[in-house]
A and B are shown apart, each in its own frame.
Chain A
Amino acid sequence: MIILYSFLAVAVLGGLFGIGLAVAAKALAVEKDDRILAVEAALPGANCGGCGYAGCAAYAEAIVKEDADITLCAPGGAAVARAIAEIMGISVEVSDQKMVAMVHCRGNRDTCTYKFDYNGIRDCNALYALYGGDKTCSFGCLGLGSCMKVCPVDAIDYDSRGNVVVDRDVCISCGKCVDVCPTGVMKMVPYSADYIVACHSIDKGALVRKYCTVGCIGCKMCEKKSPEGGFTVEDFLARIDYDARGSRDEAAAACPPKCILRVSSLKPDLVPVTALQEENEEA
Chain B
Amino acid sequence: MKQLKTFPKGGVHPADHKALAADQAIRRADPPSVYVIPMAQHLGKPADCTVSSGDQVTEGMVLGSSSGFISAPVHSPVNGTVKEIVTLQLPNGQKTQALILEALESQEEPPVYTPSEDWKNLDKQALLERIASMGVVGLGGATFPAHVKFTVPKGSKVDYFIVNGVECEPYLTADYRLMLEETPGILQGIDVVRSLLQPEHIVIGIENNKPEALRVMRDAVEALDFPVEVVPLKLKYPQGDEKQLIKAVTGREVPSGGLPIAVGAVVSNVATLYGVYEAVVLGKPLTERLVTVTGQGIQKPANLKVKIGTSVAELIEQCGGFVKKPVKIVSGGPMMGFSLSDLNTPVTKGTGGILVLTEEEVDRKNTTACLQCGRCVQVCPMGLHPTRLYKWIDHLDYEAAAAEGLMDCKECGSCAYSCPARIPLVQGMKLGKLMIRKKKAN
Residues of A within 8 A of B (CB): 115-116, 119-121, 123, 125-126, 128-132, 134, 138, 149-150
A150 and B397 alpha carbons, distance in the complex (Å): 11
Interface residues on B, range: 20 to 34
Q: B338, B364, B366: which contacts A130 (Cβ < 8 A)?
A: B338
**CB <8 Å contact, B89 and A126:** no
A166 and B1 alpha carbons, distance in the complex (Å): 69
Q: Assuming the A-B contacts A131-B89, A131-B91, are A116 and B430 also in contact, with contact meaning beta carbons closer than 8 angstroms in the complex?
A: no
A149 and B364 alpha carbons, distance in the complex (Å): 27
Q: Residue-by-residue, is B417-439 near A (CB-CB < 8 Å gives 1, otherwise 0)?
A: 00000001001101100110000
- B37 CB, nearest partner CB in chain A, Å: 19
Q: A128, A130, A138, A149: which contacts B396 (Cβ < 8 A)?
A: A149
- Could you write out 26 A-B pairs with CB less than 8 Å apart? A115-B341, A115-B342, A116-B339, A116-B341, A121-B394, A121-B424, A121-B427, A121-B428, A123-B431, A125-B431, A125-B435, A126-B427, A126-B428, A129-B93, A129-B431, A130-B91, A130-B92, A130-B341, A131-B89, A131-B91, A131-B342, A132-B89, A134-B341, A138-B89, A149-B396, A150-B396
Set of chain A residues within 8 Å of B339, measured between Cβ atoms: 116, 130
Report B360-415 residues with CB < 8 Å from chain A CB: 364, 366, 394, 396
Residue in A116, A125, A131, A149 with the greatest tally of chain B CB atoms within 10 Å? A131
Q: B95, B341, B434: which contacts A125 (Cβ < 8 A)?
A: B434
Set of chain B residues within 8 Å of A138, measured between Cβ atoms: 89
Set of chain B residues within 8 Å of A125, measured between Cβ atoms: 431, 434-435
Set of chain B residues within 8 Å of A121, measured between Cβ atoms: 394, 424, 427-428, 431
A244 and B313 alpha carbons, distance in the complex (Å): 51
Q: Assuming the A-B contacts A149-B396, A150-B396, are A132 and B93 also in contact, with contact meaning beta carbons closer than 8 angstroms in the complex?
A: yes
A140 and B319 alpha carbons, distance in the complex (Å): 37
- A134 CB, nearest partner CB in chain B, Å: 8
Set of chain A residues within 8 Å of B93, measured between Cβ atoms: 128-132
- B342 CB, nearest partner CB in chain A, Å: 7
Set of chain B residues within 8 Å of A132, measured between Cβ atoms: 89, 93, 95
- A133 CB, nearest partner CB in chain B, Å: 8
Question: Whose C-beta in chain A lies nearest to the C-beta of B428?
Answer: A121
A208 and B81 alpha carbons, distance in the complex (Å): 29
Set of chain A residues within 8 Å of B428, measured between Cβ atoms: 121, 126
- A260 CB, nearest partner CB in chain B, Å: 27
A126 and B398 alpha carbons, distance in the complex (Å): 13
Q: Residue-by-residue, is B214-244 near A (CB-CB < 8 Å gives 1, otherwise 0)?
A: 0000000000000000000000000000000
A128 and B92 alpha carbons, distance in the complex (Å): 9
- A120 CB, nearest partner CB in chain B, Å: 5
A123 and B134 alpha carbons, distance in the complex (Å): 40
Question: Whose C-beta in chain A lies nearest to the C-beta of B90?
Answer: A131
Q: Assuming the A-B contacts A131-B342, A132-B89, A150-B396, are A126 and B95 also in contact, with contact meaning beta carbons closer than 8 angstroms in the complex?
A: no
**CB <8 Å contact, A131 and B341:** yes
